Amino acid sequence: MAPERETDEAVLRSLGVPEELISHASGSGPLSAFFESLPRRGAAARTVTAADIEAEGGLPLPQMRELMLALGFAAPEPHDPAFTPDEAQAFIALWHQQHLWPFDEAVQIARLYGRLLARIAQASVQQWFAVAEPRLRAAEPDEAQRARAAAESFDAPLPVADALLTGVHRRWVEREAAQIAVRSAESRADAGLFGGLGEVSILFCDLKDFTAFADRQGDGAAIRIIDQLASTVMLERGKEASLTKLLGDGFMIVYPEPLPAVEAAVRIMEVMRAPEVPVIHASVHHGRAVPREGDYYGTAVNLAARLLTLAEGDELLVTAPVVERCPNLAWEHCGSERVRGVSEEVQVFRLRR
């Protein structure tokens, strides 16, 4: 065996790459073999089967299959070691809490977790290959040593990411629960904890004529302006925002009342106003929306989104419920509009600034 081959195999063994993948490394190279091995390396910590969880009083096998599919993974065979001990304990506790937390609701949350965490993971890996891997290639010409350096640089942030995601999730749960409690107390003391949950203010804002700007200035400028808008929204949306959803070149932000939504729109528009870049246009509507899987649905959302299409650049349009709740602001009546999906004409108002 050639010395280079022996070195490559020694490096891969030290990284925990299974022997069957090491045997293919001569064709794909040590770096590819390392990344191919990642799912198997992760599987080493999974020692509990779905049948074990059911036997301990946790999720039955049909429900475990449904939950894993909702998370975006193939359903494991009953006797495959597919879960860590911590995951097993969570699934046991989940089944014991059905009287308070119905399984159907858990599946909705699982679908949301699966979609969002998949996107986070995809972005993380894409960024590593786009930034770290080219630097490693330039700094380390030997592929075996580059595989070792890649493993170290790729593995090191994973515990940090796990801790960060857990901490961020806990902070948002605490914040959202506190906001709901405060909103309920302010609306009706006798309405119960979730009395005012369904009525929200919805802000849509995006870059006016963004497509033309991207065609004119190129992809690099388009990405920079979207990044600038994202940073501005995060900074200026205000503490009352309960949902911030990226929509291509714009955002949907949900608030408990119209005033913080209007004020956030004004701040975002003012910060983004600059020569030679697309201006912001925005819309706000207040009404009942259906919360589901961490998002909002219904006529109120559709109305706010369609109102945005009527707004010119650097213009904020709102509906009558917003004006009624923000009487001290300067509003200009723009007339009525027929909005698809809404039976009656919608009274539209412009904020004068």
Which of 132-136, 180-184, 258-262 has maximum average pLDDT? 258-262
pLDDT for position 17: 61
Give the number of other Cβ atoms within 10 Å of residue 118's Cβ.
13
Residue with tokens 């995006």: 206
Copy the structure tokens of residue 107. Answer: 């599946």
Residue with tokens 């493993």: 151
Instruction: Supply the mean pLDDT for the chain.
Output: 84
Nearest Cα neighbor of 250 from 275, 219, 225 is 225
Q: Where are the domains of the chain?
A: 198-351
For 65-103, the DSSP string reads HHHHHHHTSPPPPTTSEEE-HHHHHHHHHHHHTTTTS-H
- Residue pLDDT, tens place only, 207-234: 999 999 999 999 989 999 998 999 999 9
The residue type of 76 is P
Q: Output 150 or 187, whichever has higher pLDDT.
A: 150
CB 244 within 8 A of CB 234: yes
Write the secondary structure of 149-166 as one string of H (helix), E (strand) and C (coil): HHHHHHHCHHHHHHHHHH
pLDDT for position 74: 87
C-alpha to C-alpha distance for 139 and 201, rounded to whole angstroms: 52
The helix (H) or strand (E) run that includes residue 247 is: strand 243-247
CB 339 within 8 A of CB 303: yes
Q: pLDDT category, 116, cuts 50, 70, 90?
A: confident
Q: Output 104 or 32, whichever has higher pLDDT.
A: 104
Phi/psi at 347 (5° precision): -80, 125
Segment among 172-181, 241-250, 268-277, 331-340 with least mean pLDDT: 172-181
C-alpha to C-alpha distance for 248 and 296, rounded to whole angstroms: 17
C-alpha to C-alpha distance for 285 and 289, rounded to whole angstroms: 11
Q: pLDDT category, 276, cuts 50, 70, 90?
A: confident
CB 226 within 8 A of CB 246: no
Does pLDDT of 99 surpass 90?
A: no
Does pLDDT of 189 surpass 50?
A: no
Residue with tokens 């590593």: 128
pLDDT for position 185: 59
C-alpha to C-alpha distance for 201 and 322, rounded to whole angstroms: 8
C-alpha to C-alpha distance for 244 and 253, rounded to whole angstroms: 5
Does pLDDT of 197 surpass 80?
A: no
Q: Output the CA–CA distances (angstroms, integers) from residue 348 to 57, 252, 353, in the order listed.
A: 56, 19, 16
pLDDT for position 210: 92
pLDDT for position 265: 97
pLDDT for position 22: 61
Rounded mean pLDDT, 195-199 = 59
pLDDT for position 190: 42
The residue type of 194 is F
Rounded mean pLDDT, 67-83 = 91
pLDDT for position 149: 81
- With H, G, I as helix, E, B as strand and everything else as coil, classify residue 188: coil
Rounded mean pLDDT, 159-180 = 82
pLDDT for position 98: 87
Q: pLDDT category, 165, cuts 50, 70, 90?
A: confident
- Residue pLDDT, tens place only, 4-37: 555 566 666 666 666 655 655 545 566 676 777 6
Residue with tokens 């640089």: 153
What percent of the chain shows pLDDT beyond 90? 43
pLDDT for position 195: 41
Rounded mean pLDDT, 163-170 = 86
DSSP 345: P
C-alpha to C-alpha distance for 203 and 286, rounded to whole angstroms: 9
CATH 3.30.70.1230 fits 198-351, yes or no: yes
